[in-house]
Structure 1
Amino acid sequence: MGIRGQVERRTFLKAAGVTVASLGATAVGCGGGTGGSGGGGGEVTIRYAWWGADDRAKKINQAIALFEKKYPKIKVKTDFQPYADFWKKFNTQAAGGNPPDVIQNAVTFLRKYAARNVLLDLNPQVKEGNLSTQGFRAGLEKFAEIDGKLLGVPVGSNSMGYIIDEKLYEKAGVTPEFGWTWNDWVAGLGKIKEKTGVAGDAGPSGIMYYYDLVLRQRGKAFFTDKGLGFEESDLVTEWTEAMKRTRSGLYANPKRVEQLKPKSATAGGISAGEFTWDNFSVRYAAEGKSSYGIAPIPTIDGRKTGQYLGSLMLSGTRRTKHPKEVATFINFMVHDPEVGRIMGYDRGVLATQKQFDAFEPTDKVSKQIAAYETKIAQSGVLEPITPHPAGSDVVETAFMRLATELSLGKASPGEAAQKFFAEAKTALSTSD
């Protein structure tokens, strides 16, 4: 979960899914352990790698300059790549026994790398006082704990939201409010179509995280910690209804949606809304010509949204020779207020309360994101996130691909669901 668009994410997932298998044999039984730095009291250099672009690199380098000023005996060598290239390079480095000491990480890969013993358990560093797990915003305290191991520390948060074209909603007389139901939402899509001639939604059938919310509202989930948390029949029902709404015009024409990519359907003016991560909303103002807002997630009962906070995180790797310095660096990056002011919401809403309070957004989009996450936290709808099982990245790629085939008429709901479950079973069983 980052701030890149769905097309970049799809490319990244495909790339990572086919290269990570080589990690297991080299990572097991290796690493710097959990003790001191091994630096002998002299200067230590740690390597930090992340994905992103030049703007993020500029901010991170500013933050590192502050860190090195405070800790002059710890130098940080940096490396950044675009989303897909980052994981290609990291997989190669890890398989070769030379991964960076610290990486930017995401929940999609947490359990996979945990199973391959690639990541450093940070709990010993917490006990030794080199890393604090206090002061995180609600919903993030235990974000990266797996089987008693602390494998990452959040740097920012995001949650699923519903991005709307505010002008189209106003013209149609539809006002989304916290507690609105799926019936309210569908009725609103119909009004929008009738009053504006624009499809109410871009078509959510290929968005795994949208469907996860729907399932969680029903007491299920897309993933458990070991596999899928729903049945093939559930997906057939969901995709059958999606095709009906597409044919009726409530959802946008899938061919036009594909043609617009990488621009989103809502920013492109062919739909009035779409489900995505709240911090992705920055792209709409840049891509579109209307004004955009973040609407609440519809519900079944007016209360349970199924939402949780996702997050980018910082993880150490087990092969590091400097676990103490790794923990010291991570601690600084997630707790120091000045770092919060520098980074802003580049990687999501700041994870610790101290950094959140230090950064005062001035632009409309950042203010909307902060207000939205504050509201869902205060309303008590946030639930714990389930770390995805190993192989979940491959599963998500299959889900998106088959949903696209479905929407373009290349497969029926039953055929697409059957293929998905077959591919998911293979991906999850071969990633153990």
Structure 2
Amino acid sequence: MHPATHPTSAPDGRSYRTPRLRRRLLRGLLAAVVALPLVGAAAACGDDAGADGKTKISIFWWGGEARAQLTEQALDLYTKKNPDVTFEKTWQANQGYFDKLATLTAGGNPPDLFQIDDNFLAEYAARNTTLDLASYQESGKLDTTKFPPSLLQYGVVDGKLAGLAAGENTQGLVYNKTLLTKNGLPEPTTGMSWEEHIAWAEQVAKKTKVPGTQDPSADYKAFWVWLRQQGKDLYSGSELGFTAEDVTRWFELWKGARDRGATPTADVIHEGNQTDITKQLVVTGKAATSWVWVNQMPELKKNTADELGVIAYPGDPSAQWARASMYWSVFRGSKNAEIAVDVINFLSNDPEAVKLLGTDRGLPSNLDLRRVVSDDTTDAAMKQSITVETELAEKFGESPQVPIKGHSKVRAELIKAAENAQYGRATPAEAAAQFVAASQAAIAS
């Protein structure tokens, strides 16, 4: 890439732009002669330069319209500072995103740069779809010096840096503060045991007629934290890190909560198990708490007039970790890999870009810029998210391994088994046995 007319410097004086090698100029001249127009929702990884001499980077991500607008603004800013780079931008809602990504990467039309999460990172890395970013990190072209070490480590699969965290997140128990205050009830606190949380939820239900907590037995985030507090984990190497007996205990814990009226009925629990953040029970008024990610606080707040609070999940908070809310990965076969890496570096470390993106993909991974975003924001819910996670970060334990291939199926099987127990179609032990058998099949396939 030619030197940009408006480069942005890193704190150490490096420029975020990537120099174009001389051979790329020759390749660009050739492309000008033989270039064909790019087609499809996400452009194929083509040669570096098009007929106009500019490099076009294809980029694919999921999210709502707000994320799309913020991302497009940040990419436009990159082009402003690097005029010889433009973008083929494609985004869609979460539903169906990974089906589309699988089709693109398998069908010879992959994006140069794509968003991915920990449900699929190991799977794509195992297929050699993701570029190992470690050499760029070691050379300084991908600056991770301001990243929390555990957050960076959570992108490593089989010794390779398969993705760079686009933001940091952790599990959050969101509660309706207005409802509690109006009824003279205490707020839940970080460090409460699971039994204490359920007793608190039962008290809320009796006083307000609103179930105190969504039943999270189908929620892999809650199950995972609970397992880590028992000295187990979701995965151990290439195997499950838990037994059917562990799952039975988990399901029985929540059967007891349902029997005491601390949670909603099965039909309402099922509603809360849906992934749409706007339909979480804490904002629809069907439960006093929901089990979400901390960075979802601003989106939750948009859907209720009530004041919300957020704490860690019950039990020892050191079971929680600096989780990559999602990653940026580069397609391993991209001919524009060096520039795509530079775009990731820009989105992570350029002060203007990071301020633009805010906490939409989680807290900024760059700790220095996270403080800047917190100081600058006037969004109370965003500021609350940053404050809570910053406080929780002091209690975080080490990151677990990135989930293994088949994780998305394991998540789906947990919902199926938990709902069988919630509806009374199976005992906790029967549902647990079903879940473990199905999960073992999922990771073996």
Q: Which moved more, 1:333-342 or 1:270-279?
A: 270-279
Residue 148 of structure 1: how far off its partner (Å): 1.9
1:358 to 2:372 alignment: yes
Q: Note if 1:253 corresponds to 2:269.
A: no
Look up the equivalent residue of 1:278 and give its one-letter code: V
Distance 1:37 1:375, change over 3 A: farther
- What pairs up with 1:246-325 in 2 under 5 angstroms? 246-258=258-270, 263-299=279-315, 304-325=318-339
2:218 aligned residue: 206
Partner residue, 1:97: 108
Moved more, 141-150 or 126-135: 126-135
Secondary structure at the counterpart of residue 282 of structure 2: coil
Structure 2 match to 1:389:
404
Structure 1 position 168, deviation (Å) = 3.0
Is 2:198–2:257's contact at 8 Å kept on the other side of the alignment? no
Matched to 1:348, the amino acid is: G
Q: CA deviation at 1:237?
A: 1.6
1:265 maps to a residue whose letter is: L
Q: Which amino acid aligns with 1:105?
A: I
Q: Report what 1:16 is aligned to.
A: none
Shift of 1:315: 0.5
404-413 or 418-427, which deviates more: 404-413
Map Cα deviations across residues 188-208 of structure 1 (whole Å, 9 max, x no partner). 123212322221111111001
Deviations 1:276-314, CA, capped at 9 Å, x for gaps = 111222333233342211023221xx5644444232111
- How far residue 150 of structure 1 moved from its aligned partner, in angstroms, is 1.1
Compare 393-402 and 124-133 and name the one that shifted more: 124-133
Say if 2:95 is the partner of 1:84: yes
| 1:406 correspondence with 2:421 | yes
The 1:351–1:129 alpha-carbon spacing in structure 2 relative to 1, beyond 3 Å, is closer
Residue of structure 1 equivalent to 2:12:
none
Residue 187 of structure 1 is matched in structure 2 by 199
Take 1:160 and 1:340, find their aligned partners in 2: how far apart are those partners?
22
Distance across 1 between alignment mates of 2:88 and 2:317: 47
Residue 234, structure 1, aligned to residue 219, structure 2: no
Given candidates 25, 30, 41, the residue that maps to 1:40 is 25
Q: Name the larger-Rg structure.
A: 2
What displacement does 1:107 show? 0.9
Which segments of structure 1 move beyond 6 Å, counting only runs of 4 or more?
35-38
Range that drifts further, 416-425 or 67-76: 67-76
Q: CA–CA distance in 1 between the matches of 2:355 and 2:222?
A: 31
Structure 1 SS opposite 2:175: strand
Between 280-289 and 119-128, report the one with greater CA deviation: 280-289
Alignment CA distance shift 1:296-1:37 (3 Å): farther
**Alignment-mate amino acid for residue 400 of structure 1:** I
Structure 1 36/152 Cα, relative in aligned 2: closer, same or farther at 3 Å?
farther
| Matches of 2:72 and 2:145, distance apart in 1 | 25
Q: Contact 2:177/2:187 (CA < 8 Å) preserved in 1? A: no
**Structure 2 CA distance for aligned equivalents of residues 243 and 179 of structure 1:** 22
- Structure 1: state its 5+ residue gaps: 1-34
Structure 2: distance between partners of 1:36 and 1:172: 67
Instruction: Tell me the residue number matched to 2:173.
Output: 162
In structure 1, the residue matched to 2:51 is: none
Would you say the 8 A contact 2:222–2:313 is kept in 1? no
The TM-score normalised by the length of structure 1 is 0.85
Identity of aligned pairs, percent?
Answer: 28
Q: 1:328 aligns with which of 339, 342, 356?
A: 342
Distance, in Å, in 1 between the alignment partners of 2:309 and 2:246 is: 31
Report what 1:73 is aligned to. 84
Gaps of 5+ in 2: 1-19, 29-53
Q: Is it true that 1:217 corresponds to 2:229 in the alignment?
A: yes
Residue 440 (structure 2) aligns with: 425
Letter in 2 for 1:264: Q
| TM-superposed deviation, 1:264 | 1.6
1:368 is matched with which residue: 384, 399, 403?
A: 384
Report the Cα distance in structure 1 between the residues aligned to 2:23 and 2:283, rounded to whole angstroms: 52
Secondary structure of the 1:47 match is strand
Task: Give me the whole-angstrom Cα distance separating, in 1, the residues matched to 2:22 and 2:116.
Answer: 22
3-state SS of paired residue (1:50): strand
Letter in 2 for 1:84: Q
Q: Distance in 2 between matches of 1:107 and 1:268?
A: 28
1:338 aligns with 2:349: no
Indicate the SS of the match to 2:60: strand
AA aligned to 2:85 is: I
SS at match of 1:355: helix
- CA drift of 1:36 comes to 6.8
Task: Report the count of equivalent residues.
Answer: 393
Secondary structure at 2:236 match in 1: coil
Give me the whole-angstrom Cα distance separating, in 2, the residues matched to 1:215 and 1:351.
Answer: 26
**Separation in structure 1 between the aligned mates of residue 185 and residue 420 of structure 2, nearest angstrom:** 34
Cα distance in structure 1, aligned partners of 2:301 and 2:143: 36
What is the match of residue 36 of structure 2? none
**Is 1:147 equivalent to 2:158 in the alignment?**
yes
Q: Could you say what secondary structure the match of 2:284 adopts?
A: coil
Tell me, in whole angstroms, the C-alpha distance in 1 between the residues paired with 2:314 and 2:118: 24
Amino acid in the other structure paired with 2:233? A
Instruction: Give 1:151 deviation, angstroms.
Output: 1.0
CA distance in 1, matches of 2:22, 2:138: 15
Taking structure 1 as reference, are residues 148 and 37 closer, same or farther at Cα in structure 2, changes over 3 Å only? farther
